């Protein structure tokens, strides 16, 4: 079961925007609106940022936005802050009734 593909790392300066991509296939991202994104600071449990491609749970700032096009989903963080520095993971439902995560992207705030 191949993981979704994310860039290993991205970086940006405070106040800037960064986008993290998540590439899947025609068995997952392309056909299901069930992509979720998670933020994981070091040594902590993941936190849900986005579900169903672009919906934010209560309490998640609107600086975090997401979308998808074809087999690729994207998470954009605008107005970067120092405490945005963390690992970010995408996840998608698959046609065989399974779930798959991306390999993770380390965000560095310069």
* Closer by beta carbon to another protein, 64 or else 101: 101
| Overall size of the chain counted in residues | 110
Is 50 or 77 the residue whose CB approaches another protein more closely? 50
Distances (CA, A) of 90 to 5, 42, 50, 66, 110: 9, 17, 9, 11, 23
SS3 percent helix, strand, coil of the chain, rounded to 5, is 5, 50, 50
User: Which residue, 82, 72, 80, 79, is CA-closest to 102?
Assistant: 72
Residue 103 binds to another protein (criterion: CB under 8 A): yes
Is 31 one of the binding residues for another protein (CB under 8 A)?
A: no
**Nearer to another protein by C-beta: 13 or 58?**
58
Residues 34-93 that bind another protein (CB under 8 A): 34, 36, 38, 40, 45-48, 51-52, 57, 89, 91, 93
C-alpha 23/C-alpha 30 separation (Å) is: 9
Give how many residues touch another protein by CB under 8 A.
26
Distance CA 85, CA 75 (A): 14
100 sits near another protein (criterion: CB under 8 A)? yes
Residues in touch with another protein (CB under 8 A): 1, 3, 33-34, 36, 38, 40, 45-48, 51-52, 57, 89, 91, 93, 96-104
């Amino acid at each position: 079961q191949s993981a979704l593909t994310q860039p290993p790392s991205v970086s940006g300066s405070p106040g800037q925007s960064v986008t993290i991509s998540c590439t899947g296939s025609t068995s997952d991202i392309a056909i299901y609106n069930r992509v979720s994104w998670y933020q994981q600071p070091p040594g902590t449990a993941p936190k849900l940022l986005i579900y169903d491609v672009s919906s934010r749970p209560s309490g998640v700032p609107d600086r975090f936005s997401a979308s998808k096009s074809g087999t690729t989903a994207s998470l954009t963080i605008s107005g970067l802050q120092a405490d945005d520095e963390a690992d970010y993971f995408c996840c998608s439902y698959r046609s065989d009734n399974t779930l798959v995560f991306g390999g993770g992207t380390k965000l560095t705030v310069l």
